[in-house]
Amino acid sequence: MPILTVAAPEYLPTYAHPGDAGADLRSAEDGIIAPGGRRMFKTGVSIALPEGYVALVHPRSGLAAKHGITVLNAPGTVDAGYRGEIAVTLHNTDLENEFVVAKGDRIAQLVIQQFEVANFVVVETLPDSHRGAGGFGSTGTN
């Protein structure tokens, strides 16, 4: 388990339950998202990730299911070299009702993941596979 250095935030990311993959990020400010609109919310959290790790900002399922609120660029990517404040762009998919965010509200989840850097090699052709070039919808409608 990596140890992350976190710059003294008011709201430290926290795991709701043992074994959870996502730590809750809270809003550091009040705000309103207009129907169908989007707004960026500061979290007050800055982290130092070890090399080879990434932090991914995911939507909270409860906000999505109950209010139609999601993270616009989900998942958002926080690279190891970034030292600025993590901000979350929320999108209100409800076209009739605004959504109010209060300072301290849980607005997203932060998932820390180890990754590998790929070595991209240009070739004339790719090897065959069972799937081939089959893309969206290629496995049927069910």
Domain range summary for the chain, segments of one domain joined by +: 5-114
Q: Cβ contacts of residue 108 below 8 Å, gap of 6+? A: 24, 25, 43, 57, 58, 59, 60, 71, 76, 88, 90
pLDDT of residue 141: 66
SS3 66: helix
pLDDT at 8: 64
Torsion sign over Cα 119, 124, 130, 133:
positive
Token pair of 24, please?
């809750």
For domain 5-114, the CATH superfamily is: Deoxyuridine triphosphatase (dUTPase) (2.70.40.10)
Helices in 2-70 by DSSP H: which ranges? 61-67
List, in sequence order, every beta strand (DSSP E) within 35-105: 38-42, 47-48, 53-58, 69-71, 76-78, 87-92, 99-101
Whole-model pTM?
0.87
Q: Which residues face 78 on adjacent strands?
A: 55
Whether 71 and 37 have beta carbons less than 8 Å apart is answered as no
Tens of pLDDT, residue by residue, the chain (142 residues): 666 777 767 889 999 999 999 999 999 999 999 999 999 999 999 999 999 999 999 999 999 999 999 999 999 999 999 999 999 999 999 999 999 999 999 999 999 999 999 999 999 999 998 888 878 777 766 6
